Amino acid sequence: MKIQKKQPSTMLHRSLYALLFLAFLLSLSVLLEGCTDKCEVTNEYVYYEPVYTTVAAIREGIKLTGPQPIEAVGKIYYKDHYLFLSDPGKGVHIIDNHDPANPQSKFFLTIPGTYDLAIKGNILYADSYVDLVAFNIENINNIVEVSRLEGVFQNYRVMGFYTDINCCVITDWAEKKSISVVESECASGIQPWGGIYFERGIALNSDMAATFNKAAAIAPGTGSGPGVGGSLARFTINKDHLYLLDGSDVQAIDVTTEANPVAKSRITISWDMETIFPHEDNLFIGSMSGMHILDISSPESPVKISTYEHVRVCDPVVVQDNLAYVTLRSGSECQGFTNQLEVINIENLTSPKLLKIYPMTNPHGLGIDGEMLFVCDGAAGLKVYNASDKMTIDQNLLAHYDNIQATDVIPFNNILMMIGTGGIYQYDYSNPADIKFLSLIPIENGG
């Protein structure tokens, strides 16, 4: 069923406009308050207004079809020889990966507004804007929705615009007009994402507008049990609970009865959380400002036991034994200037200790399997290390694929699945001295 874009009811629309207009006046007053006679530069901006779709229309948009071209890859998940690839905002590609050298695209599950996923048993959990949806994937040829937690993502917002979870969400941005904006050296009105709030929407300068990714602007960063997710995941399974990042909160969802998830609790941790990784009875939360460690020995009552702080940068984390591996990277969304791999001793969870720092180019996701460490170093490509000696990792480079913009990895059973420029790359690393390329699942637009 084609999703029809609808505007909110007149009363809701007026209320949203009123709130946004007040927010704009406040932003404008802050901008003017800090400005002096230096406010002389006038630049051309492009003005966009949010497009709303009713949650009722979104919930009618679920469907299973044949394979579709992969236009983008957000998150990747592996379960029982199948790869599940989220196409941000659109749905999930299902790839038969029994033979990693010859993967076969099987189906596309349309899920409007999906970005993250996790699997336990025969149930796939995915977000759909403000809802959590559960699908039975036991028969891969007949995937069906079995339950839905409506409005469970209570902190869903886009570019600072909150959503009415009972009515409508922002599903697109409509370009309206070009405007002239007086900028200030104080830059009080410039938001962290680079634009400004204007009228009922946002305004971007001409350079930003030329590269404005509407889909990205809408996004919120084992066995018969859980599958395997990448280091950039915002969903994770630990035993009988699914943990979700929701704005500044971590939510605990009881999935003991897999087809009937039950929201149990939420705890506020930090506004800048990006990734989540489970290890034994703990969760490791990567954020722009640090690594948070949560005790989940009481699964529905997570307790933060410590925070390892660092400068403001993007921060995924993976854990093995008593060590955490964290990549820090700079970038426009991270507002930092540090690019490095950190090895942290977490033997004492209440007091993590930095062991070693290794300079990197612009590291993103990473993975660890035994003594092999895989680092996606952005434009510098995929780097594979022997990490048996934690103090000399940089001296033990096993392989370097520098012609790929590498984003995230899943190492599992000697097969590495990596998101990179052009698609999903797979490698056989059963012999660390002779890592073999197996296949590429291409992205239609080249990544």
DSSP code string of 273-332: EEEEEEETTEEEEEESSEEEEEE-SSTTS-EEEEEEE-SSSB--EEEETTEEEEEEB-BT
Task: Extract the tokens encoding 277.
Answer: 């990784």
Lowest mean pLDDT among 12-16, 112-116, 265-269, 433-437: 12-16
Q: What is the pLDDT of residue 35?
A: 40
Confidence of residue 331 (pLDDT cuts 50, 70, 90): low
- pLDDT greater than 70 at residue 328: yes
One-letter identity of residue 112: P
Average pLDDT score over residue span 285-305:
92
Residue 294 and residue 306 in contact, taking contact as beta carbons nearer than 8 Å: no
Confidence of residue 335 (pLDDT cuts 50, 70, 90): low
Instruction: Give the chain's domain count.
Output: 1
**pLDDT tens-digit series, residues 151-183:** 998 877 776 776 777 888 888 889 987 877 666
Q: Does residue 169 lie in a domain region?
A: yes
Say which residues have a Cβ less than 8 Å from residue 40's Cβ, sequence separation at least 6.
182
Q: How far is CA 106 from the centre of its chain?
A: 24
Q: Does residue 366 lie in a domain region?
A: no
| Residue 28 backbone dihedrals phi, psi, to 5 degrees | -65, -40
- pLDDT greater than 60 at residue 24: no
Q: Does residue 414 lie in a domain region?
A: no
Q: Does residue 118 lie in a domain region?
A: yes
Lowest mean pLDDT among 12-26, 113-127, 365-379: 12-26
Q: Does residue 257 lie in a domain region?
A: no
Q: Does residue 184 lie in a domain region?
A: yes
Q: What is the pLDDT of residue 357?
A: 94
- pLDDT greater than 70 at residue 316: yes
In our burial notation (b when 16+ CB lie closer than 10 A, e otherwise), range 225-241 reads ebbbbbbbbbbbbbeeb
- pLDDT greater than 70 at residue 32: no
Q: Does residue 167 lie in a domain region?
A: yes
Task: Extract the tokens encoding 159.
Answer: 């570019």
Residue 437 and residue 429 in contact, taking contact as beta carbons nearer than 8 Å: no
Higher pLDDT, 39 or 397: 397
The domain containing residue 43 runs over which residues?
A: 1-229
Higher pLDDT, 167 or 373: 373
**pLDDT tens-digit series, residues 66-92:** 999 998 888 888 999 999 999 988 999
- pLDDT greater than 70 at residue 191: yes
**pLDDT tens-digit series, residues 236-266:** 999 999 999 998 899 999 999 999 999 999 9
Q: How far is CA 15 from the centre of its chain?
A: 31
Q: Among residues of the chain, what percentage have pLDDT more than 70? A: 81
Q: Does residue 41 lie in a domain region?
A: yes
Confidence of residue 193 (pLDDT cuts 50, 70, 90): low
- pLDDT greater than 60 at residue 116: yes
Tell me which residue of 269, 263, 264 sits closest to 283, measured CA to CA.
Answer: 269
CB-count exposure of residue 159 (10 Å: 0-12, 13-18, 19+): middle
Residue with tokens 């599950």: 109
**pLDDT tens-digit series, residues 216-236:** 677 664 222 344 566 677 899
- pLDDT greater than 70 at residue 29: no
